[in-house]
Chains A and B, each alone.
Chain A
Amino acid sequence: MSALAMAKSYDQIFDGQKHYRTLLQCTARPGMIGQLDDVLMEVPAPLNRATTLIALTLMSADSSFHLEQSAEQAMDLLCRETLAKPATAEQADFVLIADARRFEEIDRARTGNLAYPEQGATLVVQVAALSPAPMPDSLRLTLAGPGIESEAAVFVSGAPVELFEALQKRNVEFPLGVDSFFTCDSLSAGPCVMALPRTTRVKWEPVSEWS
């Protein structure tokens, strides 16, 4: 995509629709890496562009989100643009995890109750990179479950093994659980997203060397 083609500001109707379709396809096919078309937008740290686009697509005044308290500018942006309310990790509909290495909110996120399992939170976890091909210092995730024909593989870098252990612990009691989006900003592909719904069974192994 050329710089000229990117130079348009966010359109809540049409960009929102396109991004929603990407998120829906990703959720229906875990392990698939979806590209969100980039838009002209200032994104304050610690948010990446993909997380911000997900927030703009899904969050509105009747939803709440959690983000670490120190991220004041980012909170302002999300509140202003989506009208969503900040909340604690225990109460939020969307739990945004800016750095996958600090993931303790996963243990506090809502998992819903048996009568209403959809009240489980949606996590948005920012990682360094997502790729269908092996990367150095990454984790190879082997996925199975609904949406996957037999097995899918995806490589994630910048996320520790403990994060996936915590996620697995949270999702052990189906239908209760949390649904996650993993996001990164890639230099070549722009904002990227990969979904791991609560139904996906994840196995992981570290990839240490370039293969």
Chain B
Amino acid sequence: MIENLRFQESFNYAYIDEFTKKEIRRKTLKAVCIPGYQVPYASPEMPISRGWGTGGLHLTLSLVGPDDTVKVIDQGSDASVNACNLRLFIKEMAKCAVTFDTAAATIIQSRHRVPEEILTEKQILVLQVPQPEVLRRVERHEAKTRIMHAEADYAKIWVTLYEAYVRSGTLRNGAGHPILVNGRYVATPSPIPSWDVPNLSMARCLYLFGAGREKRIHAIPPFTRVEPLEFDDIRFKVEEFIGVHCSASGQDKAFMDQIYAEDFSRFWVINDSNFLDKVRQGPRPSQRLFTNPE
């Protein structure tokens, strides 16, 4: 067997030096104090490229201790290349336990999904965010978006929602529906599907969002009001999987992936890999399900 020499004792515990960790920690605390506000931070160099999960990695490594159990998911899957590499890196650097089991993890680092299973008080969900600035699509200049946030001037984001409705007949504009956090800041939930957005509101766990390339941290504390932006007459809706069942488990009421077979026929499978394992093996874990308004 080839010995992995890359991770031998030449780095500080959890890779990042203590001085830099303290900075991330101070900024994370401020992010929790001002829900939805993006706190700038130093975003130190990592052995992976910016934009590949460094923000999530900074948060996870500043949180993790030897008693923690870490789970890493990428688009719902524990087994994708990115998730495997990050998990191995965190495990080797922090000497912590790792798991696939959502319920057993104390820190969950995720890209593009919130787990289906309800998270508890003891858990922290760290989300990797490619573009934390929800206003960037409508305003190029950082100085101006800062003023817009300061003045709670979100008119332009409402216009994009209106335009999405005019074009497509729904408010959905790809993943990452804009959210209003605690009635003050409009933020991005990171590119999670609309299916996951209602789970951010009044949750029992703490949500931390790290954007390494953009050097921003924001947070949603537990039991915080999070409202997806919607109009009085045109309401926010989650994805509907009508008449669709998971081909691996026969179950429904979970976020589904559509998969093409070689003969171009299509089938569906539950996206959250650990949730899929659990529904196949035993009782279905409890979920928070959102009912679309009429």
Contacts and interface: CB of A to CB of B under 8 A. Distances in A.
Interface in B44-76: 62-66
Of A12, A17, A60, A62, which is in contact with the most chain B CB atoms at under 10 Å from its CB?
A17
A118 interface: yes
Contact of B222 (A28, A63, A117): A28
Nearest to B217: A118
A147 B224 contact: yes
B151 A117 contact: no
B122 to A, nearest CB: 9
Contact of A146 (B18, B23, B35): B35
Given A61-B19, A175-B184, A197 B33 contact: yes
B26 A58 contact: yes
B221 A146 contact: yes
Contacts of B121: 29
A102 interface: no
A116 B150 CA distance: 8
A117 B37 contact: yes
B144 to A, nearest CB: 11
A172 interface: no
A138 to B, nearest CB: 25
A16 B62 CA distance: 10
Interface in B122-167: 124, 146-147, 149-151
Nearest to B219: A28
Nearest to A118: B30
Nearest to A147: B221
Nearest to A200: B33
Interface in B12-48: 12-14, 18-19, 21-23, 25-35, 37, 39-40
B34 A175 contact: yes
Given A57-B25, A61-B19, A146-B223, A24 B63 contact: yes
B31 to A, nearest CB: 7
B22 A60 contact: yes
Contact of B65 (A21, A118, A122): A21
A120 B39 CA distance: 12
A198 B221 CA distance: 13
Contact of B206 (A24, A60, A61): A24
A67 interface: no
Interface string A119-151: 010100000000000000000000000111100
B206 A14 contact: no
Contacts of A35: none
Q: SS class of chain B's interface: helix, strand, loop or mixed? A: mixed
A115 B63 contact: no
Contacts, number: 106
A61 B185 CA distance: 31
Interface in A155-189: 174-175, 179
A97 interface: no
A173 B210 CA distance: 27
B22 A24 contact: no
A51 interface: no
Contact of A60 (B14, B19, B29, B150): B19
Nearest to B17: A13
A115 B184 contact: no
A35 to B, nearest CB: 15
Given A146-B182, A146-B224, A118 B34 contact: yes
Contacts of B147: 115
A202 B184 CA distance: 19
A20 B25 contact: yes
Contacts of A25: 206
A186 B185 CA distance: 38
Contact of A23 (B29, B150, B185): B29
Contacts of B28: 24
Contacts of B150: 114-115
Given A12-B18, A23-B29, A28-B222, A17 B37 contact: no
A48 interface: no
Interface of A: 12-14, 16-18, 20-21, 23-25, 27-29, 57-63, 93, 114-118, 120, 122, 146-149, 174-175, 179, 197-199
27 contacts: A14-B66, A17-B14, A23-B29, A24-B29, A24-B63, A24-B124, A29-B222, A57-B22, A57-B25, A58-B25, A58-B29, A60-B19, A62-B23, A63-B26, A114-B150, A117-B34, A120-B30, A146-B221, A146-B224, A147-B32, A147-B222, A149-B223, A175-B37, A175-B184, A179-B30, A197-B32, A199-B35
Q: Which 9 interchain pairs have the tightest Cβ spacing?
A: A114-B150, A197-B33, A118-B30, A146-B224, A147-B221, A179-B33, A17-B65, A60-B22, A28-B221
